[in-house]
Structure formats: C-alpha cells, structure tokens
C-alpha cells in the first residue's frame, strides 16, 4: 500500500505526518516545510511562507485535508468552498494553487482566472456559463475584477451567472464539487459588482478566509 503521508518531489521524499494504515495524522510544520519547497518549485526560489501568514495557512490546510475537528474549531463548513480575500499581492493566488498539492492523488480543483471565463463567454456565449456552472471543482481567481462579457452585442455579468449556477449545483450535489475563489474586493464591493442576490448565494457557497488588510505586496 502506498503511504499517503509521503510525497515524492524530484526523487526527494517529504513527510506530511504519520500513516497508521488507515488514517494520516498530519503534522502542520511538516506540511509547511513541504509547501515552502513546493512553492519554490512552482513560483521560483524567492518564494517563502511568512510567519504571520501561518494561522491563515493552518486553517486552509485543515480544510484541505478534511480535519473536521479543526474545521469545527475554526468555524469552517466542509460542505462549502473557500473565498480567500486580501490586498493586491498578498499571495492569495499562489496559496490556492499551492495547497492543492497536500492532498494525495489528483488536484482537487482547477484554478481558473475569471478573465478567462469572460474570454470564453465572448466566443461561446452562455455555453460557458453552463460549462463552469454545472460541473467540476474550480477556484475562480480575481473574482470581481473581470470585465463584463459581451456576446452578439449583449452585455452579461458572466461571473454572477456562474455563481448562481454554482449555488444551484451546491444545493443539489453531494458537496464533492467545490467552488472556491480569490478576490481583492470587500463584501460590499462584491455586492455592488454582482448584486444582493448573488452576494446572498455566496454566503451559502463560501467559507470566508482573509489575509490581514495590511499584508504587504509580496511580489517584490
């Protein structure tokens, strides 16, 4: 039997905890060590995990590995997805790309820039809303910063429609199909962007996690 507590990268074995034959007992500091190494592979040698971000990362890791006891302590509903907010450059996108790798097997969701959804809509119309709204697990990156869609002369708030479809999927599914998102916008700004109805559905779709509003731009 493969040991799901071990991950091999470039021939090096990284441990995420201990496996007793049925359950992985994760160790957060071993996960951090792996995430920092994986981050350097994905984003370059300058990547680092900042100490002040660890409480947020701990919550996010607990959610990803389905540590139900920890999620309960943190007030996280495992049936929902994650809405990760924070200022520009704080590391939202990198973190959501990165934490997917601590779960053994294939990646649990696909990262989709919201602007790509709009580009697709502009070519294919409402088929795009159906594609992203009715199946799959996604993390929609930079929610609220995308332009309006336009198809045959008609403007459409495409991501608003996708979120409404994701809500319907959430209501009828077994919750294995997750909806995640990253955004720089506040709750009020999201409501201004998508309307009160979509904002209400977002409360049912997402657990809110937030970087500190004073988090520095880590891109420099």
Query: So where are the chain's domains?
Result: 78-210
As a whole number of angstroms, the distance between CA 60 and CA 57 comes to 5
The beta-carbon contacts of 6-14 under 8 Å, at least 24 apart in sequence, are 7/34, 7/101, 7/102, 7/104, 9/37, 9/38, 9/41, 10/41
Tens digit of each residue's pLDDT (9 = 90 or more) over 131-157? 999 999 999 999 999 988 988 878 889
Sheet with strand 110-113: strands edge to edge = 110-113, 138-141, 179-183, 81-85, 206-210
Q: What is the pLDDT of residues 82-135, one digit of tens each?
A: 999 999 988 999 999 999 999 877 788 999 999 999 999 999 999 999 999 999
**78-210: CATH number:** 3.40.50.300
pTM of the model: 0.93
């Amino acid at each position: 039997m493969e040991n799901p507590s071990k991950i091999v990268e470039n021939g090096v074995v990284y441990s995420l905890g201990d496996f007793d034959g049925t359950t992985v007992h994760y160790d957060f500091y071993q996960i951090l060590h792996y995430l920092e190494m994986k981050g350097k592979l994905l984003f370059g040698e300058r990547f680092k995990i900042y100490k002040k971000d660890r409480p947020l990362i701990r919550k996010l890791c607990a959610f990803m590995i389905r540590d139900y006891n920890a999620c309960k302590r943190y007030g996280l509903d495992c049936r929902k997805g994650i809405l990760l907010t924070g200022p520009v450059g704080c590391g939202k996108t990198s973190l959501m790309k990165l934490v997917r790798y601590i779960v053994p097997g294939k990646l649990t969701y696909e990262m989709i820039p919201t602007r790509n959804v709009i580009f697709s809509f502009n070519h294919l119309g409402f088929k795009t809303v159906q594609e992203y709204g009715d199946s799959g697990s996604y993390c929609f990156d930079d929610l609220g910063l995308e332009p309006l869609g336009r198809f045959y002369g008609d403007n459409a708030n495409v991501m608003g429609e996708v979120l409404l479809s994701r809500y319907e999927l959430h209501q009828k599914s077994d919750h294995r199909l997750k909806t995640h998102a990253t955004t720089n916008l506040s709750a009020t700004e999201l409501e201004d962007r998508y309307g009160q109805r979509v904002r209400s559905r977002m409360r049912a779709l997402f657990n809110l996690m937030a970087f500190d509003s004073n988090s520095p731009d880590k891109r420099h």
